[in-house]
A and B are shown apart, each in its own frame.
Chain A
Amino acid sequence: QVQLQQSGPGLVKPSQTLSLTCAISADSVSSNSVAWNWIRQSPSRGLEWLGRTYYRSKWYNEYAVSVKSRITVNPDPSKNQFSLQLNSVSPEDTAVYYCARGKFYALDIWGQGTLVTVSS
């Protein structure tokens, strides 16, 4: 069955870059029928979709307006994984970050979540 395994640091300093990776098993980041997403959850903002990457003969990315100037989601076909980079973080970016597979315009498989705290 499809599984997503997240990795990355749980503590990031303000103004630095948050970086997380999501490794995919039993599916392919290059699949033509799904998309690979990042979502975060905090008590103040609830669930918030951040962005996604997907392959349809070429690679596409889509990002939430709220983070568009600071976010990059990159696929890594050689390792069958994808990553999140969020630049210039502030304490407001403190949240549990999830990766998830998108299928039928829904998020059907989720990673385990990573609590990222932005603090000096």
Chain B
Amino acid sequence: QSALTQPPSASGSPGQSVTISCTGTSGDIGGYNYVSWYQQHPGKAPKLIIYEVNKRPSGVPDRFSGSKSGNTASLTVSGLQVEDEADYHCSSYAGSNWVFGGGTKLTVL
């Protein structure tokens, strides 16, 4: 059982927006602004798309955005594209330790 809670699935049509939640505790998400999000296509390694709650690494489209409120973080994908279909994992620093969510499978209908 993962430390952070994500919905197992999410879906949207091309062009729409979808938001994925990630719930933790005051010991991880609520205690630090060090939430990150990873995109993982089948058979591939995870790819960092959001760090420090809402920052995007170079090369990540601005369609991906992150936010946090209390013990819950969120990833929003706007203007969905077919290539966005993947698993999305949240993670948080938890004091000399990192915790992950169980992952959300995003389907682009």
Residues of chain A having any CB pair with chain B under 8 Å: 37, 45-49, 62, 64-65, 98, 104-108, 110-113
Contact = CB atoms under 8 A, between A and B. Distances in A.
Most A-side CB within 10 Å, residue of B36, B47, B48, B102: B48
Which of B47, B57, B97, B98 has the largest number of chain A CB atoms within 10 A? Answer: B98
B93 A105 contact: yes
B100 A46 contact: yes
B103 A111 contact: no
Interface residues of B, number: 24
Contacts, number: 57
Contacts of A49: 91, 97-100
Chain A residues touching B, majority SS: strand
Given A46-B102, A64-B97, A105-B51, 18 more contacts: A46-B100, A47-B2, A47-B91, A48-B100, A49-B99, A62-B96, A62-B97, A104-B52, A105-B36, A105-B52, A105-B93, A106-B34, A107-B36, A107-B38, A107-B46, A108-B57, A111-B45, A113-B45
Contacts of B2: 45-47
28 contacts: A46-B89, A46-B101, A46-B102, A47-B38, A47-B46, A47-B89, A47-B91, A47-B103, A48-B100, A49-B91, A49-B98, A49-B100, A62-B96, A65-B97, A98-B46, A105-B32, A105-B34, A105-B51, A105-B52, A105-B93, A106-B36, A106-B91, A107-B36, A107-B38, A108-B57, A110-B46, A110-B47, A113-B45
